[in-house]
Each structure stands twice: as C-alpha cells, then as structure tokens.
C-alpha cells in the first residue's frame, strides 16, 4: 500500500430518502470528511477505525464494508472509503479536540448527502468525495 493512500471512514444515519453523512468543520479549512493516511503497518480497516477515533473522539466504531476507492485527479492520492457503524446513537453536533497539526477543535455535524455543498464552506475535493459516497451507497444491498 502506498504511503500516500488515504482512508476515509464514513458513518451514515438514515434521514428519509437521503441519508446523512458525518462531517466536521475544521477551524482553518472549512467543512470536511474525516480522512487520513494509511500507515505502513495497518490495513485500510484499521486506519479507518484509528482515524475516526483520533478525529471524532469515538472509540467504538466497527467496520461494515468497503465503499470503494476514488481519486480526485491523476496527481492526487487514492482514497479508500470504509463504511463504519457506531453501536449507539450519535448526537446532532459535538466538538472534539484533535491533536493533529498542533491541535484543533473539530465541530461535527450531519450533512444530508443529497444536498449541495456550498463552495464557500466545502473544498471541491470533499464535494466530489460526497458525490462518490452517494453513488457508492446506492449500490449497497438494502436490508
């Protein structure tokens, strides 16, 4: 696995016909999805659980399935999307102090996947990643 391969843990919750995905507001970089680098000694699943815990403060997530691999453009790293579940209900919003990059407080919220992402608050790479997630979850088996 390349050192530049990223993992993007995805947590969804139902909301009518359009599920919501867990996202956060970075104090310097706007609205984002959780993502991070897969370390050389870990699988994508292990990295997804680790990154999710580091960035959200939630330590009991479990892997449900892979949603696929995506790349923003030919010069960007591959992202592996891993669908996680948490065995309890998550709040509407919460804040978590993440120690990455000298420490930041991330404010978590739910974003309806079918809603557009305003360019003023979402970087285009995350808007495209949300489109990938939306397409990937349409392919999941219905329970």
Domains in the chain (CATH in brackets) are 6-138 (3.90.79.10)
Q: Look up the pTM and report it.
A: 0.92
Tokens of 54: 């580091």
Neighbour count for residue 90 (Cβ, 10 Å): 14
- Average pLDDT of span 25-52: 95
**Strands 78-85, 36-37: pairing kind:** unpaired
**Average pLDDT rounded to a whole number, residues 37-61:** 96
Q: Where are the beta strands (DSSP E) in the chain?
A: 6-13, 20-26, 30-32, 36-37, 62-71, 78-85, 94-98, 104-112
pLDDT at 136 over 80: yes
CA 123 – CA 32 distance, rounded (Å): 8
- Give one word for 123, left, alpha or beta, with left for phi > 0 and alpha for psi -120 to 50: beta
Looking at the predicted structure, is the pLDDT value of residue 39 above 80?
yes
Confidence bin at 139 (pLDDT 50/70/90): confident
Return phi, psi of residue 130, to 5°.
-65, -40
Q: Which residue has the higher pLDDT, 17 or 29?
A: 29
Q: What is residue 120's predicted lDDT score, i.e. its pLDDT?
A: 86
Token pair of 131 as six digits: 């489109």
Confidence of residue 143 (pLDDT cuts 50, 70, 90): low
Lowest mean pLDDT among 45-49, 51-55, 81-85, 120-124: 120-124
- Provide the pLDDT for residue 101: 77
CA angle 7, 103, 51 (to 5 degrees): 20
Q: What is the mean pLDDT of residues 111-115?
A: 91
Dist. CA 103–CA 77, nearest whole Å? 24
CA distance 67 to 12: 12
């Amino acid at each position: 696995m390349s050192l530049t391969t990223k993992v993007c843990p995805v947590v969804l919750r139902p909301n009518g016909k359009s599920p919501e995905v867990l996202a956060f507001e970075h104090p310097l970089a706007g609205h984002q999805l959780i993502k991070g680098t897969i370390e050389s000694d870990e699988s994508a699943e292990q990295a997804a659980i680790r990154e999710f815990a580091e960035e959200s403060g939630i330590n009991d997530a479990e892997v449900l399935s892979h949603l696929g691999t995506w790349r923003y453009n030919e010069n960007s790293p591959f992202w592996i999307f891993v669908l996680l579940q948490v065995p309890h209900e998550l709040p509407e919003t919460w804040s978590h102090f993440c120690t990455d990059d000298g420490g930041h407080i991330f404010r978590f919220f739910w974003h309806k996947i079918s809603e557009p992402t305003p360019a003023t608050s979402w970087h285009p790479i995350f808007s495209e990643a949300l489109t990938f997630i939306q397409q990937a979850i349409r392919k999941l088996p219905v329970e």
